[in-house]
């Protein structure tokens, strides 16, 4: 059997369950993948493969549904426990009830910020053009336009800006 090259990570299956778990626990504790690889005398790519395999179900649809359900149940139990104090007007209990309602709104996506969203595993969208880039694009569009008035206006603008830059 050929020896694996140093550039290619070996399969995750050739590690013991205890080693995989120790790699995972060290990463949770904040140890870098580089230091983990050095500790276990592994390629860093293999450490990443272990972590990827170990966490593959974390963001699965089923796991997210279960997690949301459990968190919702916990919020219900906490609210139920403080509700009698809320009805008596206890300001601390009322503040906690408001925090629980806020937490539930975030959990359910009701209170999601309008300008931010988390997109998992999606490619980056191109950034919008700034005002200078927008103007440049409009000028290029006008230059390419068959309308002679638009081309003439662009040419006049070019002449004016070029003459304004020249010293008198």
Whether the Cβ atoms of residue 10 and residue 4 lie closer than 8 Å to each other: yes
65 and 98 part of one domain: yes
- Looking at the structure, do residues 74 and 99 belong to the same domain, yes or no? yes
Is residue 40 pLDDT above 90, yes or no?
A: yes
DSSP 88: T
**pLDDT band, very low/low/confident/very high, at 95 (cuts 50, 70, 90):** very high
Query: Is residue 96 one of the residues assigned to a domain?
Result: yes
Q: Which residues have CB under 8 Å from 47's CB, separation 6+?
A: 23, 27, 33, 36, 37, 40
Residue 84 lies in a domain: yes
Same domain, 85 and 47: no
Report yes or no on 125 lying in a domain: no
At 106 the pLDDT is: 87
The whole model's pTM is what?
Answer: 0.43
- pLDDT tens digits, one per residue of 10-33: 567 788 999 999 999 999 999 999
Domains held by the chain: number: 3
Output the pLDDT for position 126: 74
Is the residue at 163 inside a domain?
A: no
Q: Is residue 119 part of a domain?
A: no
What are the helix and strand counts (H, E) for the chain?
A: 7, 0
Average pLDDT over residues 25-49: 93
Domain assignment of residue 114, yes or no: no
Domain that holds residue 28: 12-55
Residue 135 placed within a domain: yes
Residue 7 placed within a domain: no
Report which of residues 161 and 30 the model is more confident about: 30
Q: How far apart are CA 145 and CA 137, in angstroms?
A: 12
Task: Note the pLDDT tens digit of each residue in 100-134.
Answer: 999 999 888 887 666 655 666 656 677 788 877 87
> Does residue 51 share a domain with residue 74?
no
């Amino acid at each position: 059997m050929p020896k694996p090259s140093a550039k290619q990570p070996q399969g995750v299956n050739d590690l013991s369950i205890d080693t995989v778990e120790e790699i995972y626990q060290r990463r949770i504790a904040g140890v870098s993948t580089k230091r983990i690889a050095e500790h276990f005398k592994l390629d860093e790519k293999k450490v990443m493969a272990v972590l990827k395999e170990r966490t593959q179900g974390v963001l699965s649809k089923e796991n997210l549904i279960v997690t949301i359900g459990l968190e919702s149940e916990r919020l219900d139990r906490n609210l139920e426990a403080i509700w009698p104090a809320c009805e008596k007007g206890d300001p601390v209990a009322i503040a906690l009830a408001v925090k629980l309602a806020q937490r539930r709104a975030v959990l359910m996506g009701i209170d999601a910020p309008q300008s931010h969203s988390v997109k998992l595993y999606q490619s980056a969208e191109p950034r919008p053009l700034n005002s200078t880039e927008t103007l440049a694009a409009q000028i290029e569009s006008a230059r390419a336009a068959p309308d002679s008035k638009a081309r003439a206006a662009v040419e006049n603008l070019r002449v004016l800006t070029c003459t304004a830059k020249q010293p008198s």
